[in-house]
Structure 1
Amino acid sequence: MTENEDDRKKKPEGEEAAESSAADATERPGAIDPAETDETAENESDSLQAALDEAKARAEENWNQFLRARAEMENQRRRAEKDVAQARQQALEKLAGELLAVKDSLEMGVQAARGEEATVEKLAEGSELTLRMFDQALEKFSIEPINPEGERFDPVKHEAMAAQESTDAEPNTVLTVVQKGYRMGDRLLRPAMVIVAKAPADS
């Protein structure tokens, strides 16, 4: 009897079956190799890490785009405010230039009124000239007077100071303009002060 045959006789039957099963599992096609399992897990980990890095890069790019867009909006807002301020300043400068000419005319009228040759006719002529200059200055800035005498009372553009009985004017029409109003385009600068007609009381 050989030595191998002695070993087989000495080993229990269950141990021999276990060794046989392990050998079969190792040699059987399709069996899971622990080394292959580790390699697969490592590949999946690398793929997840790559996807995570890509997601982080996209997130950072989107955040940078958001910051740039917000900065651009802020710059546009500041430029718009600056443009509005400059336009307002230029309009005020133009208006001031027109009013200075009117002031010069008024000063000359005052000096003429104090002269020895001053007459009522000359003072009236100088005042009319100054008034025309002032009206022209207002027209350049689209400032128009509101003189609603004879028109129907409009509470948006007119301010009633009193109501007066009248047999000539229709009720609720402007009988007298105490002070003209003014508007700039569609914007009301000052309502006209008026006296409104009302029907006479029954005798």
Structure 2
Amino acid sequence: MPRVIHVFRQPERFVAGTVGEPGDRSFYLQAIQEARTVSVLLEKQQVTVLAERITALLQEVARRFGSDAPAGAGDPDADPLAVPLEEEFRVGTMGLGWDADSRTIVVELLAVSEEEVDESVVLDDGDEGPDALRVFLSPVQARAFAERAEKVVSAGRPPCPLCAEPLNPEGHVCIRLNGYHRRPTLAE
């Protein structure tokens, strides 16, 4: 079956979001343009890396081309993901680039595949390779995406004050305490 590449050249919305309770969340990226919506599933760490790399790319573009990197995105998009939420695929490989002609950041997300993905498949329109989502973002849209993604990732479980690992509602075995639990003392 031929490869499907979902292209969004001027998305109205490109956001990270979650479904579920902290500690048991599924992470999604969603692109919307006109009446078309595409959602892809990915790992929390992938969302973090994508936001960090977009921020770094914006800084590098500003440094190389002399333009100002957008300081903030203004009013951040705080709306929930659009429903119904139907995932197109689970993200395996991510690509990021700068299109100097359109002055946009290009984000490409490739589906998990059985075969190893060669980097030549990223940002390629060939018939061979995994399904993909390709989104072109203005620097302001890219900054807004990165800011929201960072908020979505940090909105999970609070960190342990000793080891910084996420605290679970049912308890936490802290590596800094060598597996021992501190017993709270009751003041009388």
TM-score, reference length from structure 1: 0.17
Name the structure where helix makes up a greater proportion of residues: 1
Task: Choose 1 or 2 for highest CA Rg.
Answer: 1
Compare relative contact order (CA 8 Å, sep 6+) and give the higher one, 1 or 2.
2
Name the structure where strand makes up a greater proportion of residues: 2
